[in-house]
Amino acid sequence: METKNQKLREWVAEVEAMCQPDRVEWVDGSTAEYDRLMQLMVDCGMATKLNEQKRPNSFAFRSDPSDVARVENNTYIACKNQEDAGPTNNWIDPVELKKTMTELYTGCMKGRTMYVIPFSMGPIGSPISKIGIEITDSPYVVVNMHIMTRAGDKVIEALGEDGEFIPCLHSIGAPLAEGQEDVPWPCAPIEEKYIAHFPEENLIWSYGSGYGGNALLGKKCLALRIASNMAREEGWMAEHMLILRLTNPEGHRFHIAAAFPSACGKTNLAMLQATVPGWKVECIGDDIAWMKIGDDGRLHAINPESGFFGVAPGTSDKSNPMAMRSLDENSIFTNCALTDDGDIWWEGMDVPCDHAIDWKNNEWTPESDNVAAHANARFTAPAAQCPVICEDWEDPAGVPIDVFVFGGRRTQTVPLVTQALDFDHGVFMGAMAASETTAAALDVGQKLRRDPFAMLPFCGYNMADYWTHWFAMGDKLGDKAPAVFYVNWFRTSKEGRWLWPGFGENSRVLKWMCERVEGKVGAKETPIGHMPQDGDLDLSGLDIAPEDVTELLTVDAGAFKEDLADGEAYLAKFGDKVPERLRAQLEAQKTRLG
Ligand code: GTP
Ligand code: SPV
Ligand code: MN
């Protein structure tokens, strides 16, 4: 659809002149367009159509082995002063970075089509939503954006003549010379990859990668890095959080927003099948929450996305049946294995597989040395296909949040669940969050790292200013602020066995949280917060050894003191930007630990 938006026309013309594509296509968002692009990718060998009987209208892709996850070392916050990006973000002066990237962008779309994708994060027309325009030379990005965002003509209409949009420029960085043959997954080498954000002009430039958050710019780039900065300026919140509705047997509703780092259980919790009788979970979002204070003084959350870009390995009918049903059809699979009957497979799917073609396009059997699906293999599925999607998931007003949960992957030290003593203590808990790293980022190694609020890779400004913003939001919310909890599903025994069964059984922990909010259930006060004491956590019908429960709910003061010392050293990196109230929390925790 032709746009009357002058600014948009000018920007597209500028990018076209710089990138020099063979042609330009405006994405209309139609099914016909989706089908045509898929066919184009099947024809050129980039996509494989799955067995129509097994998985209708679904397609598999294999990325280049070098392009399998987010690249944190190549991700930049380019603002004038380095201090505004802070010590946890990579920084390059914006003028210098634009110069470097302009050179890369010049002629980068030769031999390719440039797609212009108008998209809305959040329901079109909602006061919380934002419009972005992604320009890309990747048809894979276009079909994914069809699912993950509201994309196409309806956004051009909403934008009108003078509507605001966030420009998001993306190129895979692989121009084709005259007559040069293409490869299945073109991309640039790692040293040429740049995932750049210019928060002072709300601009995103991404170059060289076609994968996930590097390339689907509405997600981490816009909805978290740029939006977190806008949110601070405008007094709202953009968080790496799932959103769920929990209904108890009396029909009371609770809305929970939970922040866990990448590949630490958000999609699973968001669609949980409660094992405690009478409790029900409905999904509103599985990765990102945008939250504003409503007229009622409470915090209301929307999911800016319209699809799930979820971790495939480990997803099964047992662990996450609602995710499995969401991807029964109309889905995209990246870096999964292909079975002999034309379906997909991955480790932990809980169905046998004797032979497959692995994510690197090699023959695979259970005897092979390598995994069949990459650890960060992902599915892209429409949120509307989730059988437990909440009827209000697209309500432009959002849902009122009762509970915040923080957490991460900690095989040691951190107990199953702790409740913050008050909101400030909750901010301290979020700020001190740490997690063992996962395959969701390519370049972070395997280690335990501080990941405040699960936002380490996604906060678009100085993390210390982000903590200040959290305290400020707490002050505005006052006694309407959500209760705050910290969880750890990943504690292991000495032999490396999970101590907690996790998944659906996490409903027991959610139940305790809701009953705490209602003042119906007890807790003991420990140096690190309130914790369930004997009988408070509903373990009825659960086959778990009493010693394991004890270990899951014990605070090892020595280990926590060590953790706190590490946390204090971490805070030192931020110098005098660290909010006084955060330091006060740290001192108080120290005193409580003795
Ligand atoms: P991103 O999409 O990267 O932001 O990840 P996510 O936070 O949505 O993580 P996801 O729910 O996809 O889970 C990642 C991995 O953790 C999967 O392999 C899950 O099987 C596993 N996992 C999720 N919940 C639990 C749990 O309660 N216990 C255990 N042991 N593993 C879990
Ligand atoms: C994450 O890494 O937190 C994801 C996947 O949700 S990606 O979209 O690649 O960022
Ligand atoms: Mn995520």
Domain presence at residue 361: yes
CA of 535 to the centre of ligand 1 (A): 28
Q: Is residue 55 part of a domain?
A: no
Mean pLDDT to the nearest integer, 101-124: 98
Q: Are 433 and 511 part of one and the same domain?
A: yes
What pLDDT does residue 126 have? 86
Nearest C-alpha to atom 21 of ligand 1 is from which residue?
Answer: 265
**Residues 150 and 187 placed together within one structural domain of the fold:** yes
Domain finish residue from 183, 215, 235: 235
Tokens of 465: 């200013």
| Cα separation, 235 vs 575, whole angstroms | 24
Q: Whose CA is nearest to atom 7 of ligand 2?
A: 213
For helices 463-477 and 423-431, angle between their N-to-C axes, nearest 10 degrees:
160
Q: Which residue type occupies 3?
A: T
What is the per-residue pLDDT across 415-457, written as a single tens digit (0 to 9) for each? Answer: 999 999 999 999 999 999 999 999 999 988 889 999 999 999 9
60, part of any domain? no
pLDDT of residue 345 exceeding 90: yes
For residues 344 and 480, state if they share a domain.
no
pLDDT in tens, 564-582: 999 999 999 999 999 999 9
Q: Using alpha carbons, list the distances in angstroms from residue 281 to 241, 243, 389.
A: 16, 10, 9
Q: Determine which residue's CA is closest to atom 15 belonging to ligand 1.
A: 263
Q: How far is the CA of 83 from the centre of ligand 2 (A)?
A: 26
Do 497 and 348 belong together in one domain? no
457 lines ligand 2 (CB under 6 A): no
488 in the same domain as 401: yes
Q: Is 474 helix (H, G, I), strand (E, B) or coil?
A: helix
Judge whether 393 and 362 are in contact, CB under 8 Å. Answer: no
Boundary of a domain, candidates 362, 382, 402: 382
290 and 181 in a common domain: no
What's the gap in Å between 215 CA and the centre of ligand 2? 11
CATH number at residue 118: 3.40.449.10
Establish if 346 belongs to a structural domain: yes
| 441 CA closest ligand 2 atom index | 2
The amino acid that residue 314 corresponds to is G
Residues 281, 271 contacting (CB under 8 angstroms): yes
- CA 142/CA 124 separation, integer angstroms: 18
* One domain, residues 284 and 322: no
Give the position, in ligand 2's atom list, of the atom nearest the Cα of 261.
Answer: 3
Kindly report, residue by residue over 193-249, the tens digit of the pLDDT: 999 999 999 999 999 999 999 999 999 999 999 999 999 999 999 999 999 999 999
Residue among 587, 420, 388 at smallest CA distance from 507: 388
Residue 390's contacts (CB-CB under 8 Å, 6 or more residues apart) are: 244, 245, 282, 283, 284, 399
Distance CA 435, CA 449 (A): 6
Domain membership of residue 330 as a residue range: 308-382
CATH number where 367 lies: 2.170.8.10
- Given the structure tokens 């040395």, which residue do they identify? 369
Whether 145 is in a domain gets the answer: yes
User: Considering the chain, what percentage of its residues have pLDDT values greater than 90?
Assistant: 98
Which of residues 204, 235, 266 is at a domain's end?
235
User: Which residue type, as a one-letter code, is found at position 256?
Assistant: I
> Which pLDDT tens digit goes with each residue over 12-57?
999 999 999 999 999 999 999 999 999 999 999 999 999 999 999 9
What ligand has the least distance to the C-alpha of 69? 2
Q: Please, what is the average pLDDT of the chain?
A: 97
Whether ligand 2 lies within 6 angstroms of the CB of 138 is answered as no
Does the active-site annotation cover 264? yes
Q: Are residues 294 and 339 in the same domain?
A: no
Nearest to 148 by CA among 188, 126, 117: 117
Domain count across the chain? 3
| φ, ψ dihedrals at 301, nearest 5° | -115, 140
Q: Could you tell me the distance, in angstroms and rounded to a whole number, from the CA of residue 590 to the centre of ligand 2?
A: 34
pLDDT tens digits for 472-527?
A: 999 999 999 999 999 999 999 999 999 999 999 999 999 999 999 999 999 999 99
Ligand 2 center–CA 212 separation, angstroms: 6
0.95 surpassed by pTM: yes
Based on the fold, state whether residues 343 and 377 are members of the same structural domain: yes
| Confidence bin at 68 (pLDDT 50/70/90) | very high
Task: Output the residue whose Cα is nearest ligand 1's atom 5.
Answer: 263
Q: Does one domain contain both 349 and 462?
A: no
Ligand 1 centroid–CA 437 distance in Å is 12
**Rounded to the nearest 5°, which phi and psi values hold at 450?**
-65, 135
Residues constituting the chain: 594
The residue to mutate among 197, 287, 305, having the most atoms of ligand 2 within 8 angstroms of its beta carbon, is: 287
Residue 169 lies in a domain: yes
Counting atoms of ligand 2 from 1, which one is nearest the CA of 220?
A: 10
Question: If you compute the radius of gyration of the chain from its CA atoms, what whole number of angstroms results?
Answer: 23
Q: Are 516 and 419 in contact (CB under 8 A)?
A: yes
Q: Which of 202, 264, 285, 271 is nearest to 449 (CA)?
A: 264
pLDDT digits (tens, 9 = 90+) for 139-197: 999 999 999 999 999 999 999 999 999 999 999 999 999 999 999 999 999 999 999 99
Residue 542 lies in a domain: yes
| DSSP β-bridge partners for residue 381 | 308
- Amino acid, single-letter form, for residue 87: P
Is there an atom of ligand 2 within 6 Å of 213 CB?
yes
String of DSSP letters for 496-543? S-BSS--GGGGHHHHHHHHHHHTT-S--EEETTEEE--TTTS--TT--
Q: Whose CA is nearest to atom 20 of ligand 1?
A: 314
Q: Which residues are close to ligand 3, an ion, with C-beta < 5 A?
A: 262, 287
Predicted confidence (pLDDT) per residue in 298-309, tens digit: 999 999 999 999
294 and 162 in one domain?
no
CB count in 10 Å sphere of residue 399:
28
The residue whose CA is least distant from atom 8 of ligand 2 is 213
Is residue 402 located within the same domain as residue 377? no
Question: Looking at the domain assignment, is residue 39 inside a domain?
Answer: yes
Question: Ligand 1 pocket: which residues have CB below 6 Å?
Answer: 260, 262-268, 286-287, 310-311, 313-314, 319, 440, 489-490, 498, 502-503, 506
Q: Give the pLDDT score at 128.
A: 87
Ligand 1: residue of 267, 275, 283, 409 to mutate (most ligand atoms within 8 A of CB) is 267
Residue nearest to atom 1 of ligand 2 (CA): 262
Place of tokens 């979020």: 430
| Positive/negative CA dihedral, 388, 119, 62, 260 | negative
Backbone angles phi and psi of 417, in degrees to 5: -155, 140
Q: What CATH number is associated with residue 454?
A: 3.90.228.20
Give percent above pLDDT 70 in the chain. Answer: 100
Residue 580: count other Cβ atoms within 10 Å of its Cβ: 10
Determine the Cα–Cα distance for residues 473 and 454; give it in Å rounded to an integer: 18
pLDDT at 1: 82
Q: Chain-centre distance of CA 442, in angstroms?
A: 15
Does residue 307 have its Cβ closer than 6 Å to ligand 2? Answer: no
pLDDT for res 94: 98
Q: Which helix (H) or strand (E) holds 399?
A: strand 399-400
Determine how many CB atoms are found less than 10 A away from the CB of residue 448: 17
Mutate to test the pocket of ligand 1, among 242, 268, 326, 386 (most ligand atoms within 8 A of CB): 268
Annotated catalytic residue, options 264, 283, 336, 386: 264
